[in-house]
Amino acid sequence: MTAMIMHSPSLTLPRMVRSGFWQNSLAASLALALHGIVLALLVHGWSPEKPRVEPPAVLRTQLVMLSPAPQRVAPEPAPALVEPAPPEPVIAAPAKPVVDPQIQGQKLEQAALARKRVEDKKRDLQAEQQRQRLDAEKRSREAEQQRLAEQQAQQAHQAEQARLSAERARQQAAQAAANSREYLPLSKDAPDYPQRALDKNIEGDCTVEYTVNPQGKVENPKVLDGCHPLFIRPSLVAANTFRYQPKVVGGQVVSVPAVRNTFHYRIK
């Protein structure tokens, strides 16, 4: 259900209604008076103001909600009786122990001592590691020095062995030279050029073969083929004058057979 309420003075009806004549005459007189007043004002320079616009009439409505009729509600069944659960036992919070300052101080002192012991052990461990490292370096240096000394000793031993070997080789060579010596010519005189060959301008070569005895003298000289007859006798005479250093084999002097010497006869 709704109700409408109107608030506007212009819409209200007048309480008393007059007659038509009086109403018209009054309106005519009022109109004339108003025209005369406006004309006088216009003559004196008055300008009419804009008429004020009246606000329009507003119709206000209000909606009123009425409560519905109460409905009949069926009675709810009574709830079953439930036995209350026994109350849980209340566990009391453990009481905070009261700390004795003296005991607390002892604990702090013990903790400081334990920390100091740990630091001392750490320093001791570091010192032990440092000592082990130094010992290892010392052993390494000693091993290196020993290796160098052994190497030097080995090199010196090798040098000594080489020197001894060279000395023995030299002694053996000297002994071999003393025990085994080749024959060497000590003196060789040139033969005389035959006068007949000079007169005839004959030149040539003559080879003589002989044996050098243990005394270094020439034995059994003979002329080989190819020698000019004019050069045979002077070649044999010259070969008999040759002297040699005797040959030694195993400490014994020996003869050297088939020794050859060639004489060259040239006219300059």
Q: Is pLDDT at 68 greater than 80 in this prediction?
A: no
Length of the chain: 268
In this structure, CATH architecture of domain 184-265: 2-Layer Sandwich (3.30)
The predicted-structure confidence for 108-158, as pLDDT tens digits, reads as follows 888 998 999 999 999 999 999 999 999 999 999 999 999 999 999 999 999
The predicted-structure confidence for 186-238, as pLDDT tens digits, reads as follows 888 889 999 999 999 999 999 999 999 999 999 999 999 889 999 999 999 99
For the whole model, what pTM was predicted? Answer: 0.35
> Any idea where the domains of the chain sit in the sequence?
102-179, 184-265
Local structure of residue 268 (DSSP, 8 states): -
Cα gap 144→146, rounded to integer Å: 5
Q: Can you name the residues that pair with 260 across neighbouring β-strands? A: 209
b/e code 3-39 from CB counts within 10 Å (16+ = b): eeeeeeeeeeeeeeeeeeeeeeeeeeeeeeeeeeeee
243-245 and 256-265 as β-strands: parallel, antiparallel, unpaired? Answer: unpaired
- Of the two residues 267 and 263, the one the predictor is more confident about is 263
Local structure of residue 203 (DSSP, 8 states): -
